[in-house]
């Protein structure tokens, strides 16, 4: 009887570990800092700098009217012709 209880306990532990490892992020949402797939983790548009042509995320770039730049220095230099 004792061996049967140990065997069932081992099966439950294996099931729990496999379930925890199969979730995205390696654990449940509470232990992963509350991160969940959603609007915050959605892909962000990449835009080309009008000075050098490097693509950067829209939130990290600098806008000057309709022009988009990768950094403040390139905004200061202006659009490359």
| Residue ranges per structural domain of the chain | 1-38, 43-81
pLDDT for the residue numbered 25: 59
Q: What is the pLDDT of residues 29-48, one digit of tens each?
A: 454 444 455 567 788 999 99
What would the pLDDT profile of 8-33 be if each residue is shown by its tens digit? 999 999 999 998 888 765 444 454 44
Asked whether residue 60 carries a pLDDT value surpassing 80, the answer given is: yes
pLDDT for the residue 38: 59
Q: For position 53, what pLDDT does the model report? A: 92
pLDDT value of residue 59: 92
Who wins on pLDDT, 27 or 56? 56
Q: Which residue has the tokens 């042509």?
A: 53
């Amino acid at each position: 009887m004792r061996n049967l209880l140990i065997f069932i306990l081992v099966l439950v532990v294996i099931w729990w570990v496999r379930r925890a490892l199969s979730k995205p992020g390696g654990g449940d949402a509470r232990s992963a800092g509350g991160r969940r797939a959603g609007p915050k983790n959605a892909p962000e548009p990449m835009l080309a700098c009008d000075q050098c042509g490097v693509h950067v995320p829209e939130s990290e770039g600098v806008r000057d009217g309709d022009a988009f730049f990768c950094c403040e220095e390139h905004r200061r230099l202006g659009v490359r012709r």
